[in-house]
Amino acid sequence: MPKLDGKTAVITGGTAGMALTTAKLFAEEGARVIITGRRKEKLDEAVAEIGHDATGVQGDVSNLEDLDRLVDAVTAHSGRVDVLFASAGAHTLNEPLGAATEKSFDDVFDVNVRGTFFTVQKLLPLLTDGASIILNGSAAAVLGNPASTVYAASKAALRSFARTWTTDLKERHIRVNVLSPGAIRTPSFEALPPEFISHALAEVPVGRAGTEADIATTALFLASADSSYITGAELPVDGGLTQV
Ligand SMILES: NC(=O)c1ccc[n+]([C@@H]2O[C@H](COP(=O)([O-])OP(=O)(O)OC[C@H]3O[C@@H](n4cnc5c(N)ncnc54)[C@H](OP(=O)(O)O)[C@@H]3O)[C@@H](O)[C@H]2O)c1
């Protein structure tokens, strides 16, 4: 029996990387998948790649009007959300405290914090009782990695959201969890400077980078009834990086 049979899953930033691989797995497991992304061409490619009658809604999660259009599209599509994977994220590289700018701070917080907050708030009326919300965090939130101050703090905010939203949504039995990836080989990770990648991988206990499939299978676990007694939690998918 497919694990997400008859469910509607919304995945933000689902046009590439781990969220696209997750969208494919969710669709194979019976979900009707709706993905978002800013670039229309990339969105159309991803929708075709997912197949299974997937839908794409163009938009930036940091733009509230785009989020309103997402709500309208989901209302017209199925009128419900059983699984919400809020994955769209932004990062800055090599910006220690003294180098971060007002713009880089706002850009990262607008997408990661404000964008995630309003994605969930605006879709709240469409979330079914018993729905699963998964926030895409980061191992960086609990590490003191150099030059990562703004990004790390923005992802730490998601950990807090999961706790308070679990309480706020308790009556509706909506579960909220954070999936926190470590170093995962996605196109944007591969584009990082080689020295950054080797530094990121040096301390990973399992001795390798994570794969997009490592994230997708964990997201499926958090989305499905297999995790029905897990809420308000953070699940690190980082090869042990933050656990030893
Ligand atoms: N890769 C890693 O090692 C790693 C580690 C820890 C955490 N993460 C987190 O995991 C998530 C996914 O990362 P990733 O490396 O797989 O993919 P990614 O390359 O960061 O992004 C995947 C897709 O998201 C879309 N996107 C970006 N900003 C968006 C926005 N503001 N609104 C809507 N869509 C947006 C992009 O399409 P458009 O440009 O067309 O919008 C892109 O195709 C992020 O939240 C990231 O912070 C990644």
- pLDDT for 102-125, tens place per residue? 999 999 999 999 999 999 999 999
**Ligand 1 environment, Cβ below 6 A:** 12-13, 15-19, 36-39, 42, 60-62, 87-91, 111, 115, 136, 138, 181, 183-184, 186-189
- CA neighbours closer than 13 Å in the CB half-sphere of residue 114: 13
Around Cβ 28, how many Cβ atoms within 10 Å? 17
The two most distant CA atoms of the chain are separated, in Å, by 53
- Give me the pLDDT at residue 199, please: 86
In our burial notation (b when 16+ CB lie closer than 10 A, e otherwise), range 94-117 reads: ebeeeebeeebbebbbbbbbbbbb
Determine the atom of ligand 1 nearest the C-alpha atom of 43: 40
Ligand 1 atom nearest 115 alpha carbon: 31
- Quote the pLDDT of residue 196: 85
Spacing of C-alpha 150 from chain mean position: 18
129 neighbors 116 (Cβ within 8 angstroms): no
Adjacent-strand bridge partners of 86: 12, 135
Tens digits of residue pLDDT in 84-106? 999 999 998 789 999 999 999 99
Q: According to the model, what pLDDT value does residue 218 have? A: 99
Nearest to 147 by CA among 227, 69, 92, 214: 92
More confident residue, 220 or 194: 220
pLDDT, residue 187, reads: 96
Give the contacts of 56 (CB within 8 A, at least 6 positions apart): 15, 34, 35, 36, 37, 43, 44, 46, 47
Q: Which of 11, 18, 148 is the pocket-test mutation for ligand 1 (most atoms within 8 Å of CB)?
A: 18
| Residues tagged active-site | 151
**How many A from CA of 1 to the centre of ligand 1?**
31
pLDDT of residue 39: 98
189: CA distance to ligand 1 center in Å? 10
Ligand 1 center–CA 88 separation, angstroms: 5
Quick: pLDDT tens for 37-51. Answer: 999 999 999 999 999
Q: pTM to 2 decimals? A: 0.99
What residues have CB less than 8 Å from 158, skipping those under 6 apart? 112, 113, 116, 135, 136, 137, 141, 178
Ligand 1 centre from 35 Cα, in Å? 12
Determine the average pLDDT of the residues in 161-178.
Answer: 98
Question: b or e along 39-50 (b: 16 or more beta carbons within 10 Å of the residue's beta carbon)?
Answer: eeeebebbbeeb
- pLDDT for res 109: 98
**How would residue 75 be classed by pLDDT, with cut points 50, 70 and 90?**
very high
